[in-house]
C-alpha cells in the first residue's frame, strides 16, 4: 500500500509537502523553475544540470525506487496509535461518535490502550507490547556462507519470542557440518583432572594423570599403591598381574640343553659302570670320574630349579645346589690337575711319589673342597630362611599396561653371584694348575684335555658377565631382562658342564665303544 501511494505522488497532488520539490529535483536530477539545483547549488552555479523538470516524471518509472527498510515500523506505529484510539473510543464513548471523555483524550489512558493492542502489522507480522511497553523482539538471523570473494549472507533463522534456527541451512566450513563449541573449556575426559585458569573461575585446562596415577576427583590425581596400576582410563586402580615363572619361549633352550646334558651324562656313567674294570676307566681314576660325573649332573639339574615357579622349597634348593654342582665339578678337576702337577714336579726331584695321591686321598680332598660350599649354603639357610616374594618394583615399566609383578626368590644378582663365587674361585685355581701342567708329558693323558676344558670354561664365563648384567639394566626387564638373566645363567652353567663332559669323557667313551681293542690290558 505504501509503495503504491508513494509512487503515485507528483508535483500536482503533493503540494502540501514543502520539501517535496527538493526531493523531486534530487531524485530526477533536474531543475524546477525558480528552484534550487540539486545538492543545494544555486541555479546557474557550476554543476547545475541543464535539463529542466517537466513535472511529468514518475517515481519508480523515471528514477529507481526502493522502500526504506524502516518504513514498516513507522506504519506499524501509526496503526498502533489508531488501534489504541479506537479501543479507547469504544470504552469512553459506548454510544459511538466523539464524546466529552475524548475531548481531549487522556494521554495516560491512551497509553494503556496502546499497550494492549494486538494486530498484524504491515509486513504481516504480529504487533504487540509487553508489560514494559516494549515491542517483542523480532530479528532475522543471517549467516555469511562461502568465501574467496563469492560469499553471501543467507537467512538461517529468526528470533520471535525465542530462537528458531534452520540448522540444515547453516554451514560451518568445508570440513565440518556441526557448529563449533561455544564454551570456555570442554569437560575433561576420563583420567584427566581440571587445572583451573588463574583469574577465570569458569575455565580450566585438562591434564592427563600420568605414570601410575589415577583421577581421585575432578581436580586431583593420586598415585596407585605399589602393587596396583591404573586402569586404561585412569579412573581407578587395579591389581598388577604377576609373572610366576619363565614362559616356554624363554625356558625352551635352557631346558633342552639341560635335558640333553643329563642324557649324555647318564650315558657316560652307564658306559663307565659297564666297563668298570677296563684299563681306560681305571686309568682315568674311577672314583674321581664318578664324582665329576655327579657334579656335572647337578649342574645340568639346576636348570630345572631356575625355571620352576618360585616357592619356599624351590628357593631353598636353589641356594643349596646353584653352586654345589659347579663346586663339586671343579673340586674334582682341581684335585686331578693338582695330582698330575705334583707327580710331575716330584718326579723331577725324586723317585719317591708325593703324598695324598691315592684314590681315597683324592676323594677326601674333593669332598673337603666342595663341602665348604655346602656348609656355607646350609648356614645361609639357617641364618636367613628362604622365601618367595612378589617384586612389583622390578616389573614397573614406564607404561603401566606393561607392568608386571615378578614372583621370585629372595635372591638378587649379588646373592646369585655369591652362590657361584666359591665355584668360580675353584675354577680359576684349576685353570692356574692347568697352565702349570701344560708341559706334562703325553703319558699323563688327562693333563692337556683338562687344560683345554678350563680355558674354554673361562671364555664361557667371561661372556656370561656382560650379558647377565646388561640384561639387568634392560628397559623391558620384566618381559625380557629377567628371563634373559635366567637363561644366560643356566645356559652358561650347562655349557661349562658340557666342556669337561665332551673333552674328558667323549674320547674315552669313543674308544670304549668303537675301539675296544685299544681298551685291553697289555700283555707282558
CA dist., res. 237 & res. 220, Å (int): 14
Considering the domain architecture, whether residues 395 and 331 belong to the same structural domain is answered as: yes
Asked whether the beta carbons of 497 and 453 are under 8 A apart, the reply is: no
Considering the domain architecture, whether residues 328 and 255 belong to the same structural domain is answered as: yes
Task: CATH number of the domain at 399, please.
Answer: 1.20.1070
* DSSP structure string for 381-438: HHHS---EEEETTTT--SSGGG--EEEEES--HHHHHHHHHHHHHHHHHHHHHHHHGG
Q: What is the pLDDT of residue 12?
A: 87
Answer with the one of 421, 442, 463 that is the final residue of a domain: 442
Closest CA relative to residue 127, chosen from 88, 87, 82, 79 = 79
Considering the domain architecture, whether residues 215 and 257 belong to the same structural domain is answered as: no
Asked whether the beta carbons of 326 and 302 are under 8 A apart, the reply is: no
Considering the domain architecture, whether residues 62 and 153 belong to the same structural domain is answered as: no
Confirm whether 487 is domain-assigned.
no
Q: What is the pLDDT of residue 481?
A: 54
Q: What is the pLDDT of residue 444?
A: 53
- Between β-strands 405-409 and 242-243, what pairing exists: parallel, antiparallel or unpaired? parallel
End-to-end CA, the chain = 153
Asked whether the beta carbons of 440 and 340 are under 8 A apart, the reply is: yes
Our count of domains for the chain comes to 4
Report CA torsion sign: 181, 184, 187, 188: positive
- Per the structure, the complete domain to which residue 394 belongs is given by 243-442
CA distances from 372 to 127, 327, 379 (A): 112, 9, 11
Confirm whether 178 is domain-assigned.
no
* DSSP structure string for 182-247: --SSPPP-TTEEEEEETTEEEEEEEEEPPTTEEEEETTEEEEPPTTEEE-TT-SSEEEPPEE-S--
Residue 18 has, within 13 A of its CA and on its CB side, a CA count of 0
Q: What is the pLDDT of residue 240?
A: 92
Predicted confidence (pLDDT) per residue in 33-68, tens digit: 865 444 445 444 455 546 888 888 898 888 888 888
Considering the domain architecture, whether residues 233 and 303 belong to the same structural domain is answered as: no
Burial class (CB in 10 A: 0-12, 13-18, 19+), 452: middle
Query: Whole-structure pTM over 0.85, yes or no?
Result: no
User: E strands within 242-376?
Assistant: 242-243
Confirm whether 378 is domain-assigned.
yes
Asked whether the beta carbons of 409 and 314 are under 8 A apart, the reply is: yes
Asked whether the beta carbons of 9 and 27 are under 8 A apart, the reply is: no
- Between β-strands 138-145 and 388-391, what pairing exists: parallel, antiparallel or unpaired? unpaired
User: E strands within 93-145?
Assistant: 119-120, 126-127, 138-145
Confirm whether 260 is domain-assigned.
yes
Considering the domain architecture, whether residues 148 and 112 belong to the same structural domain is answered as: no
How many CB atoms lie under 10 A from the CB of residue 8?
A: 12
CA dist., res. 232 & res. 209, Å (int): 11
CA dist., res. 477 & res. 483, Å (int): 8
Asked whether the beta carbons of 71 and 64 are under 8 A apart, the reply is: no
How many CB atoms lie under 10 A from the CB of residue 340?
A: 21
Considering the domain architecture, whether residues 44 and 148 belong to the same structural domain is answered as: no
Confirm whether 479 is domain-assigned.
no
Answer with the one of 376, 411, 442 that is the final residue of a domain: 442
Residue 3: phi and psi, rounded to 5, are: -60, -45
CA distances from 206 to 179, 224, 234 (A): 22, 20, 14
What H or E segment, with its residue span, contains residue 344? helix 324-349
CA distances from 480 to 10, 117, 239 (A): 102, 87, 21
Considering the domain architecture, whether residues 6 and 145 belong to the same structural domain is answered as: no
Residue 66 has, within 13 A of its CA and on its CB side, a CA count of 2
Considering the domain architecture, whether residues 263 and 298 belong to the same structural domain is answered as: yes
Q: What is the pLDDT of residue 44?
A: 45
Q: What is the pLDDT of residue 38?
A: 45
Q: How far does CA 121 lie from the centroid of its chain? A: 66
- 65, 70, 76, 78: CA torsion to nearest 10: -80
Confirm whether 420 is domain-assigned.
yes
Q: What is the pLDDT of residue 125?
A: 81
Q: What is the pLDDT of residue 299?
A: 93
Considering the domain architecture, whether residues 322 and 250 belong to the same structural domain is answered as: yes
Q: What is the pLDDT of residue 450?
A: 81
Confirm whether 179 is domain-assigned.
no
Reply yes or no: is the peptide bond before residue 184 cis, omega within 30 of 0.
no
Task: CATH number of the domain at 108, please.
Answer: 3.40.50.2300
CA dist., res. 218 & res. 205, Å (int): 12
Considering the domain architecture, whether residues 384 and 332 belong to the same structural domain is answered as: yes
Task: Report residue 49 as a C-alpha cell.
Answer: 544540470
Q: What is the pLDDT of residue 451?
A: 80
Task: Report residue 51 as a C-alpha cell.
Answer: 535539463
Considering the domain architecture, whether residues 230 and 269 belong to the same structural domain is answered as: no
- The alpha-carbon radius of gyration of the chain (Å, integer) is 55
Confirm whether 509 is domain-assigned.
no
Low-confidence ranges of the chain (pLDDT < 70): 34-50, 147, 149, 174-177, 245-250, 345-353, 356, 413, 439-447, 468-482, 522-524
Q: What is the pLDDT of residue 252?
A: 85
Amino acid at each position: 500500500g505504501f509503495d503504491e501511494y508513494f509512487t503515485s505522488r507528483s508535483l500536482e497532488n503533493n503540494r502540501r509537502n514543502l520539501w517535496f520539490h527538493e526531493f523531486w529535483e534530487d531524485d530526477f536530477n533536474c531543475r524546477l523553475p525558480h528552484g534550487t539545483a540539486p545538492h543545494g547549488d544555486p541555479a546557474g552555479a557550476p554543476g547545475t544540470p541543464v535539463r529542466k523538470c517537466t513535472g511529468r516524471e514518475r517515481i519508480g518509472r523515471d528514477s529507481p525506487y526502493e522502500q526504506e527498510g524502516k518504513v514498516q515500523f513507522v506504519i506499524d506505529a501509526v496503526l498502533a496509535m489508531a488501534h489504541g484510539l479506537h479501543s479507547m473510543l469504544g470504552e469512553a464513548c459506548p454510544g459511538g461518535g466523539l464524546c466529552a471523555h475524548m475531548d481531549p483524550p487522556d494521554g495516560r489512558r491512551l497509553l494503556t490502550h496502546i499497550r494492549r493492542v494486538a494486530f498484524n502489522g504491515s509486513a504481516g507480522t504480529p504487533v504487540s507490547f509487553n508489560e514494559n511497553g516494549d515491542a517483542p523482539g523480532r530479528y532475522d538471523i543471517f549467516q555469511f556462507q562461502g568465501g574467496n570473494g563469492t560469499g553471501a549472507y543467507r537467512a538461517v533463522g529468526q528470533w520471535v519470542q525465542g530462537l528458531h534456527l534452520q540448522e540444515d541451512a547453516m554451514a560451518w566450513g568445508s570440513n565440518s557440518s556441526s557448529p563449533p563449541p561455544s564454551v570456555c573449556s570442554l569437560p575433561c575426559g576420563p583420567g584427566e583432572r581440571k587445572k583451573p585458569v588463574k583469574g577465570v573461575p569458569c575455565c580450566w585446562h585438562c591434564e592427563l594423570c600420568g605414570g601410575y596415577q589415577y583421577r581421585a576427583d575432578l581436580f586431583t590425581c593420586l598415585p596407585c599403591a605399589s602393587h596396583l596400576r591404573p586402569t586404561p582410563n585412569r579412573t581407578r586402580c587395579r591389581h598388577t598381574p604377576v609373572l610366576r615363572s619363565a614362559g616356554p619361549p624363554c625356558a625352551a633352550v635352557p631346558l633342552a640343553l639341560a635335558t640333553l646334558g643329563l642324557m649324555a651324562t647318564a650315558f657316560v656313567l652307564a658306559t663307565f659302570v659297564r666297563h668298570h674294570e677296563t684299563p681306560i676307566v681305571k686309568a682315568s681314576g674311577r672314583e674321581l670320574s664318578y664324582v665329576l660325573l655327579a657334579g656335572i649332573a647337578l649342574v645340568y639339574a639346576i636348570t630345572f630349579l631356575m625355571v620352576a615357579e618360585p616357592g619356599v622349597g624351590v628357593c631353598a634348593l636353589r641356594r643349596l645346589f646353584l653352586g654345589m654342582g659347579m663346586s663339586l665339578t671343579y673340586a674334582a678337576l682341581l684335585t686331578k690337575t693338582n695330582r698330575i702337577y705334583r707327580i710331575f714336579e716330584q718326579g723331577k726331584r725324586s723317585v719317591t711319589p708325593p703324598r695324598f695321591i691315592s684314590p681315597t686321598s683324592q676323594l677326601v680332598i674333593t669332598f673337603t673342597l666342595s663341602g665348604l660350599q655346602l656348609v656355607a649354603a646350609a648356614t645361609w639357610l639357617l641364618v636367613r630362611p628362604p622365601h618367595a616374594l612378589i617384586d612389583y618394583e622390578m616389573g614397573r615399566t614406564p607404561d603401566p599396561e606393561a607392568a608386571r609383578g615378578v614372583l621370585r626368590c629372595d635372591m638378587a644378582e649379588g646373592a646369585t653371584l655369591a652362590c657361584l663365587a666359591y665355584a668360580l674361585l675353584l675354577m680359576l685355581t684349576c685353570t692356574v694348575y692347568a697352565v702349570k701342567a701344560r708341559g706334562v708329558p703325553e703319558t699323563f693323558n688327562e693333563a692337556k684335555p683338562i687344560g683345554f676344558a678350563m680355558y674354554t670354561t673361562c671364555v664361557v664365563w667371561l661372556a656370561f658377565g656382560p650379558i647377565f648384567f646388561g640384561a639387568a639394566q634392560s628397559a623391558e626387564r620384566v618381559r625380557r631382562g629377567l628371563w634373559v638373566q635366567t637363561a644366560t645363567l643356566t645356559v652358561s652353567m650347562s655349557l661349562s658342564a658340557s666342556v669337561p663332559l665332551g673333552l674328558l669323557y667323549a674320547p674315552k667313551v669313543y674308544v670304549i665303544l668303537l675301539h675296544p681293542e685299544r681298551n685291553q690290558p697289555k700283555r707282558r
